[in-house]
Amino acid sequence: MNTPSALAYVPFVSVHNMMKLVHHIGIERLLVEMAAEIEADFRRWPDFDKTPRVASHSDVGVIELMPTSDGETYGFKYVNGHPSNMKKGLQTVTAFGLLADVATGYPVLLSEMTILTALRTAATSAMAALFLAPKGATTMALIGNGAQAEFQALGFKAICGISAVRLYDIDPAATAKCMKNLAASGLNLTACSSPEEAILGAQIITTVTADKQYATILTDNMVGSGVHINGVGGDCPGKTELHRDILLRSSIFVEYPPQTRVEGEIQQLAADHPVTELCR
């Protein structure tokens, strides 16, 4: 009698089941609990074997692998980013991940990570803002109103207590869709006609745009002192959202400098420009 392979029993979390889990727990509670887990991992940051994500870039997008291990478990995420997919009726981002036992090398979990990536990104942003944003902040500007914007708004509401969101996108239809999807969130929503209008009165500015170019979404004269900027969109070489002068007068916090210096906003700065890791 043949013994079934252990691989036959690897749990798989599909998109359908992930959505059932989100609805069962509730998205705001899930974001709060994810943020707590992410914070706990940052507090043991030295335990992780880290490397900048392995990226394959093309003219139309990027495909990336993100591996890590804490000595007991090993995991990786596969993710793409193809902004032009929206014109084809396809998702900009798709992802899946695998978790394995280091002691045996056997996989123990295979999961969709498209939805999970959206949740994790928002939870990490809000978790960082909990420590870095002005205390008592109530208003956030949200520039770039694609799918991730909705998760960001809900994350900042649940974790940081944001009650008002001012939205802007170069595509008014994106703003309208975001407003519609957040209508029942309890947030005070304002659609704006320019980035300048969106940031009025905002203590937090979240930029989550998708164009792969050295873009300037926020210029230096737009942003006053004491504002927390959550720059999400600058996630590959040649992709930025903030004018360099904003960075030069700011305290900069990043997740992992070896990656951020080539893919984040600080690729605009000298290689030795001081930054602080979130884990500190």
The CA-atom distances, in angstroms, between 160 and each of 19, 111, 231 are 24, 28, 17
Our answer to whether residue 272 is catalytic in this structure is no
Residues 250/218, Cβ–Cβ less than 8 Å: no
Q: Which residues pair with 139 in a beta bridge?
A: 164
Q: Report which of 110, 122, 91 is spatially closest to residue 27, judged by C-alpha positions.
A: 122
- Catalytically annotated residue among 101, 235, 245, 272: 235
How far apart (Å, rounded) are the C-alpha atoms in residues 103 and 88?
43
- 163 burial via Cβ count (<10 Å: 0-12, 13-18, 19+): middle
Q: Report which of 220, 259, 224, 258 is spatially closest to residue 64, judged by C-alpha positions.
A: 259
Give catalytic residue positions. 235
